Structure 1
Amino acid sequence: MTNFIFIVADDLGYADLGCYGGRAATSPVLDQLAANGLRYVNGYANSPVCSPTRFALMTGRYQYWVRGASEEPLLGTSRGNPELGLHPGLPTLPSMLRDIGYHTALIGKWHLGFRPHFGPDRSGYMHHFGPMSGGVSYWGHNARGPASDLELDGQPYDEPGYLTDLISKRAARYVRERAADGQPFLLSLHYTAPHWPWETRAQGGVDPEVSKDIAHLDGGNIETYRTMIQEMDEGIGWVVQALRETGILDDTLIVFTSDNGGERFSDNWPLVGGKMDLTEGGIRVPYIAHWPRGIGRPGGICAQHCMTMDWTVTMLDIAGARPPADHVLDGVSLRATLADASHGFPRPMHWRMKHKDQRALRDGDWKYLKVEEHEYLFNLERDARERANQARRDPQRLAAMRAAWESWNAQIPPVPAEARTDLISTLRDMPAR
């Protein structure tokens, strides 16, 4: 049986990696995985902000079916609310793989609701180490206030160290344990890097001021940010080395991506916009797939359009797991593209955001975008930077894509009026716990 490692970086820009045009040598391990695997150049996140994408990753469905995903993103103010999280009754990637004999683990960030109502162990993971919140200090491991936000198998837990390294070391240990017992596994390896606060391994401790307000806007710089990526990349190398040394690398599908587009220090070139935006810089992300036994021609580039939840369905497809009849998957399997990178099929993809009343649809070369009252139409194959608005030149196409988006939107629950979207101001107003 095939093992799966689903690696998710946090707020990584489209061009932050060398294999995606990065201007700094931050990612030799990931670049090598791409060179020996596949690189997808039309890959998208389900949302331009973190927790909604994670709802889609877990369920294989558009996140809008779950109330908590309307929070853009989930914040500490949702604690105690039984509606704002991933409900334990929902089928998930880990629960469906667990049910056919896989061991399942989340090592890293959860960010899908707080206890007592929600948690990794209540949604299919048999092992978890990492933070429950969205952003935490890399040294103090705190979200707001002095207490650590880490858990180990459902219990509050902390240990000294740089969080990126703690996550990487536990992931490598987990791989060796599974190799020893021979059980196939799903490892969700969800880093907080390179999300704020911007702290590196060399800093060696917590800045007290950062601990009070980890969403600070006056910290960090491009050098620190790039170092954080490099340290994550190094840790991924420890996991790959564990796979290689235990002889299970060939039978393991590794998928690497980001939960959304980049933040202020990210490199999104040639895309515009970033986190919280439905412009390309907010949703187009790197996708690297590495699977020696399953990829037809290593080193290839795949142009197939895809989004986060497609990888969920791909892993279920490869494993032979079937969802319950009442859990209709919105994602589609990319398994055929792994065998043949030139394989392609139509893949319309839809988004909406309460933030700035945004909507988007990509269908083929074309993208329909609405931000507040402004509508846009772009041919992304000719204009990836979204500078040449074709709305007036091609009003019939604009009308058709608007109608297609509205038809899709009519099938899913509306955005609740009380959903929170203003991330930074909300964090500043939120009391320490």
Structure 2
Amino acid sequence: MKRPNVIFIVADDLGFADLGCYGGRDAAFGGVSPQLDALAASGIRFTQGYSNSPVCSPTRFALMTGRYQYRLRGAAEEPINSRSRGSSTLGLPTEHPTMPSLLKQAGYRTALIGKWHLGYPPYFGPLRSGYDEFFGPMSGGVDYFTHCSSNGQHDLWFGEEERAEEGYLTDLLSHRAVDYIERMAARNREEGEAPFLLSLHYTAPHWPWETRDDEALAQEVKGNLFHLHGGNIHTYRRMIHHMDEGIGWVMQALRRHGLERDTLVIFTSDNGGERFSDNWPLVGGKMDLTEGGIRVPWIAHWPAFIPAGSTSAQPCMTMDWTTTVVAAGGAQQDAAYPLDGVSLLPVLRDPAHAFARPLHWRMNHRGQRALRDGDWKYLRVDGHDYLFNIPADERERANLGGRDPARLADMRDAWEAWNNTMPPIPEDATVSLGYSVKDMPQR
């Protein structure tokens, strides 16, 4: 197997059914994701893919490290907020191996274009955790035109220096990604072939809800990015379409240089959808351990390896992608930091392949916990325990704990046993967003 180039694309707050290939209601909006739908049609689409957390920065800790985020102090924040600026503890420790650092040791060139959200320099940053290049915001969300964070501070960086650029952020990231591919192709011609890792982490469709045509709105709400009175489903879906167009430009660049066949393109979201997203048939959303908060789109495209038109129901989570990429790149794991993720290469080669894969979550917010094991899911919210058969009840409406108390007890014990292997949640950990679990049935 030839080591692939890797383009790892992460959307922000994208709902499970926001894309056409996941049942999105495209007809009423003219189709929002033709490029991603095409990638799924010529690659593999996972129907049981999960994020490591229902909120952004904890998932990104897991993505970077290939390990449960609970092992690191910074990931106890739900998510990291503006108080992390200047903090020497709230971020990804520079000594910790990461997906880019392991691939870099294996001869890959590495770049992050887009959102970081894992702590600020001088203590943390992409260039300190394995990336050769970085362009994007350090914080969780910025205005698409002013590139200011929620506290009004400019937050667009090139390397470790702030950089002012004009333009709609989604397009800036897409064009920068195309430029990176062009430069890597030229470098390969001049210096000999070497694979690359491009992490393309969009902020779309995260708030503020602005399309390319909304620069005047950006000026109006400057300094008030949350503007909870703003946005609508039309704007939201247009933002997804802008991202989808950019992904199309990236794929065109790969084809132009003959790189598509040997490039593994991965697409997912950092957590479930926000208020304007479509999660059908799932309930809940961001900040929830119900399915709508953690089950997300998972697409992979690699013509040299993945059979076209594939679908897999293999349960898996963000950090499994990390382990998969490390394995595909021929990189060596660090024995001092064993990966919790499981490689999906066997599934990518043969989508009929399946294996047991229990998935665990916990949240400080409302004392949430969850375990998905096979068809079954154990969930606790506000001290209430639930047992769901997910294939039979994806909306998590029928609590089977009373009917099957032995299974509920076994799954509760299994979660407790796993939790005992993780550090406790620090008392000073904060919840930055006050979203709550929605529509939970009472016991």
Which of 427, 434, 437 lines up with 1:417 in the alignment?
427
CA drift at 1:121: 0.2
- Which structure 2 residues correspond to residues 46-85 of structure 1 after superposition, within 5 A? 46-85=52-91
Distance 2:335 2:77 in 1: 28
Distance 1:60 1:145 in 2: 31
Confirm or deny that 1:12 pairs with 2:18.
Answer: no
Which of 120, 134, 142 lines up with 2:148 in the alignment?
142
Moved more, 143-152 or 24-33: 143-152
Asked whether the equivalents of residues 139 and 205 of structure 1 are also in contact (C-alpha less than 8 Å), the reply is no
Asked whether the equivalents of residues 150 and 226 of structure 2 are also in contact (C-alpha less than 8 Å), the reply is no
- Which structure 2 residues correspond to residues 12-411 of structure 1 after superposition, within 5 A? 12-24=14-26, 25-182=31-188, 183-205=194-216, 207-295=218-306, 297-411=307-421
Distance 2:201 2:115 in 1: 5
Change (3 A) 1:399 1:124: same
Distance 2:260 2:8 in 1: 14
What letter is aligned with 2:343? Answer: S
Change (3 A) 1:147 1:205: farther
Unpaired runs of 5+ residues, structure 1, are 426-433
Give secondary structure in 2 for the equivalent of 1:212. coil
Distance 1:27 1:200 in 2: 15
What letter is aligned with 1:21? Answer: G
What letter is aligned with 1:16? Answer: D
CA drift at 1:115: 1.6
Asked whether the equivalents of residues 72 and 421 of structure 1 are also in contact (C-alpha less than 8 Å), the reply is yes
User: 1:3 corresponds to which residue?
Assistant: 5
Give secondary structure in 2 for the equivalent of 1:403. helix
Deviation digits for residues 114-138 of structure 1 (CA, Å, limit 9, x no counterpart) = 1211110000000000000000000
Asked whether the equivalents of residues 348 and 362 of structure 1 are also in contact (C-alpha less than 8 Å), the reply is yes
Q: Could you state the TM-score of these two structures normalised by the residue count of structure 1?
A: 0.97
Asked whether the equivalents of residues 43 and 287 of structure 1 are also in contact (C-alpha less than 8 Å), the reply is yes
CA drift at 1:208: 3.4
Unpaired runs of 5+ residues, structure 2, are 189-193, 436-443
Q: Could you state the TM-score of these two structures normalised by the residue count of structure 2?
A: 0.94
Give secondary structure in 1 for the equivalent of 2:213. helix
CA drift at 1:308: 0.2
Give secondary structure in 2 for the equivalent of 1:313. helix
Asked whether the equivalents of residues 143 and 218 of structure 2 are also in contact (C-alpha less than 8 Å), the reply is no
Distance 2:367 2:109 in 1: 41
What letter is aligned with 2:215? Answer: G
Asked whether the equivalents of residues 141 and 150 of structure 2 are also in contact (C-alpha less than 8 Å), the reply is no
Change (3 A) 1:43 1:227: same
Asked whether the equivalents of residues 114 and 135 of structure 2 are also in contact (C-alpha less than 8 Å), the reply is yes
Distance 2:293 2:39 in 1: 24
Moved more, 322-331 or 162-171: 322-331
Distance 1:209 1:31 in 2: 35
Distance 1:325 1:45 in 2: 25
What letter is aligned with 2:372? Answer: R
Asked whether the equivalents of residues 361 and 368 of structure 1 are also in contact (C-alpha less than 8 Å), the reply is yes
CA drift at 1:373: 1.1
Change (3 A) 1:147 1:77: closer
What letter is aligned with 1:367? Answer: K
Asked whether the equivalents of residues 40 and 304 of structure 1 are also in contact (C-alpha less than 8 Å), the reply is yes
Give secondary structure in 2 for the equivalent of 1:232. helix
Distance 2:290 2:120 in 1: 30
